[in-house]
Amino acid sequence: MRSWQILFAVLLLSQSAVADTTTIAFGSCLRQWKPAPILDTVRLLEPDAFIFAGDNVYTDTGLFRFMDEPGRIFKAYQQLAKTTEYQALKQSTRLFATWDDHDYGQNNAGAEYPWKQEAKQQFLTFFDIPGDTSMRQRAGIYDVHYLGDGERRIQIVLLDTRTFRGPLQQAEPNQQCPRSRLVATSDRTTTLLGDAQWRWLSNQLKQPAALRLVVSSIQVIPDQHCYEKWGNFPHERQRLIDLIRDADAKHTIIISGDRHLGEISRLPDRNTFPIYEITASGLNSAGAGKGEFNPYRISEDNVRVDHFGVVRLIEDALYAVELTLYDVNGAVIQQYLIDYASWAIRSSPQR
């Protein structure tokens, strides 16, 4: 073990030992053919859980794009399974997961993807989903899990933004989005989650929890960029925001990936409460987003080096939620402390 790893382990162990603190790490966009030392950094943190937030493998890029479907999905997972970093993390940490387009099987794919059942089977097998889980009895991979009990109960809602998603709308190339050509659809009959998942989500947001993590593979709050986002379906984006607020699910943090950048966003509302989103995208593939505009971003800039995210529920005298983006060496890149009672950001995270 390198010297910085030893120092990092000591620092994080002392930090994690703070009484009544629950630590949940997450990340996305893992190119399985590249080294992933950041998974060792995550493991040294000793989180209570790690969430794979999508693009957990890439089945349609690199050499895999020349392979036949759906067999290449299995091969991509097998390549990740053979890495020492993944195996060490799996053996030491409770894992949760959802998918995004590249592990689903195809860039920007939705309900039309012909191999989605085969992709689901590979997902279930790779992440050791139990045979009696309800996920196996219904379409899609959306699911819910809990950490802790009573006043320390944390709900993890894993959304499926692929299986039911309607067609994306594209326009003629323009100066704003010359490559993706993605624009917001005006067709309010299109869906992102599908009726069954919407009903399920509405019920989940009514369940008691001290903290709720809603995991969406694509970004929810940022709606200005040219890539996949809930903003491509503005009626669905607003439906999710309304659902969270109507359920009075105040202590909700949205977790997202996909973008090959990291940032922390806040959607204010004078009449109710703000909604926060932490994006961590680029476990070993970050670098996008230079100069990108996001009016909801709390910091001045986004993160474009490899990183992972952490959400901590701190239940000591502070009673707060801490959002952090760490780099591959375990250094803090961005960090914000949210007061639990007021759900407002404190000036600095002091513990």
Q: What is the pLDDT of residue 13?
A: 44
pLDDT over 50 (residue 351):
no
Q: Grade residue 318 by pLDDT with cuts at 50, 70 and 90.
A: confident
Of 11-15, 216-220, 230-234, the range with the lowest mean pLDDT is 11-15
Average pLDDT value for residue range 104-127: 98
Would you state the pLDDT for residue 327? 98
3-state percent helix, strand, coil for the chain, nearest multiple of 5: 25, 20, 50
List the beta bridge partners of residue 267.
Answer: 275
Beta bridge partners of residue 322, listed in sequence order: 312, 337
CATH code for the structural domain at 3-9+23-339: 3.60.21.70
CB 212 within 8 A of CB 251: yes
pLDDT value at 26 more than 90: yes
Pairwise pLDDT comparison (205 vs 316), residue with the higher score: 205
User: Is 129's pLDDT higher than 60?
Assistant: yes
Structural tokens at position 103: 């592990």
Amino acid 145: pLDDT: 98
Kindly report, residue by residue over 4-22, the tens digit of the pLDDT: 554 454 455 445 445 589 9
Question: Taking 50 as the threshold, does the pLDDT of residue 120 lie above it?
Answer: yes
pLDDT tens, position by position, 133-184: 999 999 999 999 999 988 889 999 999 999 999 999 998 877 678 888 899 9
Q: Check pLDDT > 50 for residue 350.
A: no
Q: How big is the chain by its Cα radius of gyration, in Å?
A: 19
Buried b (16+ CB within 10 A) or exposed e, 319-332: ebbbbbbbbbebee
pLDDT value for 349: 53
* Interval 53-110: pLDDT, tens: 999 999 999 999 999 999 999 999 999 999 999 999 999 999 999 999 999 999 999 9
- Summarize the confidence of residues 118-140 as an average pLDDT: 97
Q: What are the start-end ranges of the H helices in the chain?
A: 3-16, 38-45, 71-81, 84-92, 101-104, 116-126, 195-204, 234-246
Q: How far is residue 135's CA from residue 349's CA, in Å, rounded to a whole number? A: 38
Rounded distance, CA 77 to CA 52, Å?
Answer: 13
Read off the tokens for 152: 């320390």
Which pLDDT score is estimated for 64? 97
Phi-psi region of 287 (alpha: psi -120 to 50; beta: other; left: phi over 0): left
pLDDT on residue 236: 98
Instruction: Examine the pLDDT at 240 and tell me if it is beyond 60.
Output: yes
- Residue 212, pLDDT > 70, answer yes
